[in-house]
């Protein structure tokens, strides 16, 4: 077994219990991008460093992961990293351009460009810095809350690798799906294999749950999602679980978050994940009806609701909890926190989830 032993005993397992569908006394809550620029201490820690240099520093990743937990009674930590470390591990160069975001110096343009990628990736050699960050953070958390590891899903990673950065239409990446379906599947398969090893390595390093981000699901329609996203999402869950068993590692709960993919909720509920994450564009009752009784749901407050007054945030949280119910549910936002959000309002969100869910459970 590759996992370092001697981790501190977990004191608050509410998030893990909810993820596994066990009863909880209150609804656990965490926020996507909770380690982020909305915190002045985050901006201070990050100021001098190149973004990806920060990702490669276990000490800085640990500090950034812990910052939100010093302020808020969150029920989980998520390791500070980025989904684009996987394309980097395949040999692509990505730089963070201020005001523009992540940019690939040489995106994949032609099918031949696939030959430039590493066909076999030793994740420990290429991404060992993430594993070190996870181990250090798991120790530094002192068992306060569980630590979540994550990866981007193959289609989302492919879309960045072909577009060369963010895009409103994903037209370049989608044109590959229509013009070069075989090459697209080759790339997606390569990505799925690397993501599988990467996630297993995160558990070996100490991650207690895993989230797969299919952030660009909304750019695909149901048919393309069926062909180019869902099979790899399913494969990753299955392969990660069988490798964890083989290596005698803990079978941690897995979360799939496919943004804007309501058309696929039924399929995602049967894709092998304990938790299905939701964006804010679907009603809680509708999501429950489509996903059934056997998965936990996570989400889905509109992040922009945090611009509202604290009273209003409380009302919206109460309504959300009434919609989802307090059990088999993890409260979160429907996407990440934005840099200009007030930390006080994030605190109000977290506290409202705890207070209202305890109240509903009592009555």
Asked if residue 323 lies in contact with residue 275, where contact means CB atoms within 8 angstroms, the answer is: no
Distance CA 262, CA 103 (A): 29
Q: Please say whether the beta carbons of 134 and 207 come within 8 A.
A: yes
Neighbours of 250 (CB within 10 A): 13
**How does DSSP assign 5-46, residue by residue?**
--PPPPS--HHHHHHTT---SS--B--TT-SSTTSHHHHHHH
CB 194 within 8 A of CB 89: yes
What are the Cα distances from residue 175, in Å, to 166, 179, 181? 16, 6, 9
Residue 165 in 3-state DSSP?
A: coil
Beta strand pairing call for 77-78 and 147-152: parallel
Question: Both tokens of residue 257?
Answer: 């978050």
Question: How far apart (Å, rounded) are the C-alpha atoms in residues 100 and 18?
Answer: 37
- Which residues are within 8 A (CB) of 119 and not within 5 positions of it... i.e. 6 or more apart? 190
User: Which contacts of 58-63 are long-range, i.e. CB under 8 A and separated by 24 or more positions?
Assistant: 58/129, 58/132, 58/133, 58/135, 58/136, 59/136, 61/130, 61/133, 61/136, 61/137, 62/133, 62/136, 62/137, 62/140
Radius of gyration of the chain (CA): 19
Find out whether 217 and 260 touch, Cβ atoms under 8 Å: yes
| Contact between residue 156 and residue 187 where contact means Cβ atoms under 8 Å apart | no
Nearest to 108 by CA among 90, 96, 83, 120: 90
Beta carbons of 30 and 76 less than 8 angstroms apart: yes
Q: Please identify every residue annotated as catalytic.
A: 33, 37, 46, 82, 160
């Amino acid at each position: 077994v590759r996992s370092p032993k001697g981790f501190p005993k977990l004191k608050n397992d509410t998030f893990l219990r909810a993820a596994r569908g066990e009863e909880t006394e209150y609804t656990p809550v965490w926020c996507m991008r909770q380690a982020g620029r909305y915190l002045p201490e985050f901006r201070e820690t990050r100021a001098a460093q190149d973004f990806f240099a920060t990702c490669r520093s276990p000490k800085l990743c640990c500090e950034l992961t812990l910052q939100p937990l010093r302020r808020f009674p969150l029920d989980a930590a998520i390791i500070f990293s980025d989904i684009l470390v996987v394309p980097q591990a395949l040999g692509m160069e990505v730089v963070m351009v201020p005001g523009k975001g992540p940019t690939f110096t040489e995106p994949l343009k032609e099918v031949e460009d696939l030959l430039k990628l590493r066909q076999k990736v030793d994740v420990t050699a290429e991404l060992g810095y993430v594993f070190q960050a996870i181990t250090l953070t798991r120790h530094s958390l002192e068992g306060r809350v569980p630590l979540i590891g994550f990866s981007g899903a193959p289609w989302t990673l492919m879309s960045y690798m072909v577009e060369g950065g963010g895009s409103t239409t994903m037209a370049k990446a989608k044109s590959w799906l229509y013009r070069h379906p075989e090459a697209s599947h080759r790339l997606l398969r390569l990505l799925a294999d690397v993501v599988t090893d990467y996630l297993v390595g995160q558990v070996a390093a100490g991650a207690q749950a895993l989230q797969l981000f299919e952030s660009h699901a909304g750019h695909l329609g149901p048919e393309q999602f069926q062909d180019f996203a869902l099979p790899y999402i399913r494969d990753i869950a299955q392969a990660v679980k069988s490798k964890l068993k083989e290596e005698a590692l803990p079978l941690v709960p897995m979360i799939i978050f496919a943004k804007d993919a309501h058309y696929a909720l039924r399929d995602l509920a049967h894709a092998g994940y304990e938790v299905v994450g939701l964006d804010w564009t679907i009603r809680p009752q509708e999501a429950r009806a489509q996903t059934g009784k056997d998965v936990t749901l996570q989400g889905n407050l509109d992040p922009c609701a945090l611009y509202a007054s604290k009273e209003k945030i409380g009302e919206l949280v109460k309504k959300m909890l009434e919609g989802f119910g307090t059990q088999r549910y993890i409260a979160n936002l429907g996407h990440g926190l934005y840099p200009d959000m007030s930390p006080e309002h994030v605190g109000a969100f977290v506290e409202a989830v705890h207070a209202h869910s305890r109240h509903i459970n009592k009555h």
